[in-house]
Structure 1
Amino acid sequence: MEKNGDKVLIVDDATFNIRIVTKILKDAGYDIYTANSGVKAILEVKKNKVDLILLDVMMPELDGYQVNKLLKKNKDTKDIPIIFLTARDDSFSLVKAFEEGAVDYVTKPFNENELLSRIKTHLELERTRKKLKESNLTKDKFFSIIGHDLKNPIGAIRGLANELVQNIDELDKHEIKDFSNRILRNSDKVCQLLEGILEWARVQSDKIEYKPTILNLREVVNKSVKLLSLNARKKNISMIVLIQDNVEVYADFNMLNTVIRNLIYNAIKFTYENGKILITVYMEENCCKISVKDTGIGIKKENMKKLFGIDSNFTTRGTENEEGTGLGLILCKEFVERNGGSIFIDSEYGNGSCFSFTVPKYRVNKNEG
C-alpha cells in the first residue's frame, strides 16, 4: 500500500491491541507511532508531530481522559483530533469522551473497516479545518494591507494633490517640484503594493502556472541586480555576484525571478549606507543553493519564525524608513516550494542576514542527443 503521509499515534497499554491496530493502519498506508501508557503518549506527541491520535480510555497512571485533557491545554497539541478506543459502550462514558474534546470513539472489539473509515473522515475534516483557518488568515491579511498599507499612501497622495490645487498660485517652482516628487513617491508605493497583492492573490487562487525551463542562473540574478541598482546606489551599497557563467537550473523563470528580486530588494532595504550585498551559489548534488548575504541590521531570533507566516502580520521598516507589506517573503516561500526547493535564514541581530534557497539543478538526460 502506498504511503499517504498521515501520522497516527496509537496509545494502548495492551501490546496485543497495539499490534493489531498497527498492522491495520500500516497496511492502509499510515505512518505509525505507538505508546503503551499515557505518560509515554504525552512524550511521543512532544517528539513527533502527529495528525491523529487513537487513545485508549482505561490505562494505569494517566487514563485516556487525563491524557486528552493535558493535550487540549497545550496550544501546540490542542487541535490534534483524538478518537477514543474503549471497551465501554455505556452512554456516560461516551458523553464524557465528547465533553473532554474527543472527535469520535470506537468500541472494542472494533471493526477494521469502521476504524479506517472514521480515521479517514476525521483526517479529512482536520485538513478542511486547516484550509478554512488559512483562508481566514489570508482574508485578514488582505484587509490589513488594504486598510493600512494602501490607505496611508493614497491618503498622502490625495492630501498633497489637494494642497497643490488649492495653493498652486502661491507656490514657487521648487515647492511645486517638492509636492510633485512626494506625490510620485507615494504613487510608486501604491503601485508596488498593488503588484504584490495581485501576485499573491494569483498564487492563492492557483492561477499562476508552474512552467519550468532551463535557466542560466547568473543571467537571472543579473536582471534583478540591474533592476535594483538604482536603489543600491542611493545608499552607496555595493552588490557583488559570485556565480559562474555556466550554472544552469531547472525552474520557472517568473517564480525564480520574483524570489531573487525580493531577496535582493530586502537586502538593500535593511542595509545601511556604504554596506555590501554578496550573492553566491553553492553546488549540491541535486540542487543549487543560492544565497543573498547583507551587512545590514539583522533579525532578532524571536522574529525569524514570523517572517514566512501569513498569520504573523510581521513587517519592519528599512534603514531609511522604507515600508513593506510583509508579502514578499511569503511569496518567496511559496515560489521556492513550488519549484521543489526550500528557503532558509541565517541572521544575527546587528550583524546582517543571509537568505538562502535551493532550486533543482538542470541535469542533462543521457538519452538526449
Structure 2
Amino acid sequence: AKFERILKGETFSGTREYLDLDPVLILSYFYSPIVEIDGTISGITIFSYDITKLTLAQRELFESEKNLSLSNSTKDKFFSIIAHDLRSPIGGIKEGLDYILDEDNDLASEDSREFITELKEMSIHTFDLLENLLQWSQNQQGALDYDPKCLEVSPLITETVKVFKGLTQIKEICLSIDCTADTMAFIDKNIFVTIIRNLVSNAIKYTERGGDIKILVERDSYYITVAVKDNGVGMKPEVIPFITQFEKNISTYGTEGEKGSGLGLVLCEELVLKQKGKIWVDSEEGVGTTFYFTSPVCDGE
C-alpha cells in the first residue's frame, strides 16, 4: 500500500529500529517517487542512513538532562530543609534555654520542668532530622556503610521505640510490639533502626491523641515482614504514589501541628531497597495507615 501511494506521487520518511540485532541498528529512511520530465513516475528512490550512534547519544543526553534536573530539584529541597526545618527548632531551643537561664523569668518549678520537656522533644526531632539528612546524603553519594549481619529483631525494635516514650505519653498513644523473641533477619543494624524510627515517628505524627500504634513482625521462609500500623488520619488514594518522591514535597502537618520534612519516607524506601527488601503502604483516610517492609531472613534458617 505504501509503494502504491509513492507511485502516485507521495513521499515517506521515518526511522526504524532493529532492536533484535546485536548491536542495535537504527535507520533513517526516505522514500520518493522518480518523476520524469513528462510527469510520469518511473520508479522509487530509497535513501537510508545509519543514525544509531546519533540517536543513542541523543537519548543518553536526554536522560542526563532529566537526571540533572531531578538532582537540582533534590538539592533545592535539601537546602530548604536545612534553611527552614532545622533553623526553626534550633532557634526555638536556643530561645527557650535563654529564657530558662534568665534570672528574671517568672517560671515556677513545675512550669520550668514542662518547658524543659518540650525543649527535649524539640531536640529529639531535630536530631532525627539531622540523622536522616546525613544518611540520605551518604546514600546518594554511595558512601553509606552497609554491613548486614544475622541479628535478632525484637530487641532492636524495643530499644528503638524507647526514644518515643515522651511523645507517646504526651499524645496518650498506646504503642505495642508483637514480635517473636527469636525472630532473626539478615540486616544492617543502623539501617534497620533508621527505618523503624522513621516509620514509628511518622505514625505518631499522624495519630490522634489517645490512638494506637502497633508494630507487628511476621516471617516466612525468605523474609521477615514488619508492619507499623496506626489508627490515625490516613491518606487520600491520590497522595500515596508521591509520598516517597522527595521533589514533590507533599509532607503535611501532624494531628497536633507537628512539622515534617518529607525526607523520612524517602529515606525508608532507599534503605529498604538497599537491604534487598521492599516497602509498601495500605491507607484509608479517616481509618489509619499501615506501612510494611521486608528484610531477608538469615541464610540456613
The TM-score, its normalising length taken from structure 2, stands at 0.78
The whole-number CA distance in structure 1 between the counterparts of 2:160 and 2:93 is 29
CA 1:126 to 1:316, structure 2 compared with 1: closer, same or farther past 3 Å? Answer: same
Q: Alpha carbon RMSD of aligned pairs, Å?
A: 3.2
2:233 aligned with 1:294, yes or no? no
Deviations 1:266-313 (A, max 9, x none): 112211222222222343453222211111111112221221001111
> Aligned runs of 1:195-274 on 2, under 5 Å?
195-274=131-210
Preserved CA contact (<8 Å) 1:224 1:264: no
Preserved CA contact (<8 Å) 1:291 1:356: yes
Q: What secondary structure, in the 3-state scheme, does the structure 2 residue paired with 1:319 have?
A: coil
The whole-number CA distance in structure 1 between the counterparts of 2:227 and 2:24 is 38
Preserved CA contact (<8 Å) 2:121 2:166: no
Preserved CA contact (<8 Å) 2:206 2:254: yes
The whole-number CA distance in structure 2 between the counterparts of 1:288 and 1:307 is 23
Q: What residue ranges of structure 1 are gaps of 5+ in the alignment?
A: 1-12, 31-53, 55-83, 90-106
Deviations 1:23-72 (A, max 9, x none): 21xx3489xxxxxxxxxxxxxxxxxxxxxxx7xxxxxxxxxxxxxxxxxx
CA 1:210 to 1:124, structure 2 compared with 1: closer, same or farther past 3 Å? Answer: farther
The whole-number CA distance in structure 2 between the counterparts of 1:351 and 1:139 is 35
Deviations 1:211-243 (A, max 9, x none): 111122223222223333333233232223222
Q: What secondary structure, in the 3-state scheme, does the structure 2 residue paired with 1:232 have?
A: helix
Which residue in 1 is equivalent to 2:266?
Answer: 330
Preserved CA contact (<8 Å) 2:171 2:208: yes
Q: What secondary structure, in the 3-state scheme, does the structure 2 residue paired with 1:125 have?
A: helix
Preserved CA contact (<8 Å) 1:295 1:353: yes
CA 1:161 to 1:235, structure 2 compared with 1: closer, same or farther past 3 Å? Answer: closer
Query: Which structure's relative contact order is higher, taking Cα pairs within 8 Å and 6+ residues apart?
Result: 2
Which residue in 2 is equivalent to 1:87?
Answer: 30
Q: Percent identity?
A: 32
Match of 2:103 among 168, 187, 201: 168
The TM-score, its normalising length taken from structure 1, stands at 0.65
Q: What secondary structure, in the 3-state scheme, does the structure 2 residue paired with 1:337 have?
A: helix
Which residue in 2 is equivalent to 1:350?
Answer: 286
CA 1:298 to 1:120, structure 2 compared with 1: closer, same or farther past 3 Å? Answer: same
CA 1:178 to 1:296, structure 2 compared with 1: closer, same or farther past 3 Å? Answer: closer
More strand by share: 2
The whole-number CA distance in structure 2 between the counterparts of 1:297 and 1:362 is 36
Q: Tell me the CA shift for residue 135 of structure 1.
A: 1.5
Q: What secondary structure, in the 3-state scheme, does the structure 1 residue paired with 2:228 have?
A: strand
Which residue in 1 is equivalent to 2:69?
Answer: 133
Preserved CA contact (<8 Å) 2:222 2:297: yes
CA 1:129 to 1:246, structure 2 compared with 1: closer, same or farther past 3 Å? Answer: same
Which residue in 2 is equivalent to 1:363?
Answer: 299
Q: Tell me the CA shift for residue 198 of structure 1.
A: 2.0
Match of 1:22 among 11, 19, 41: 19
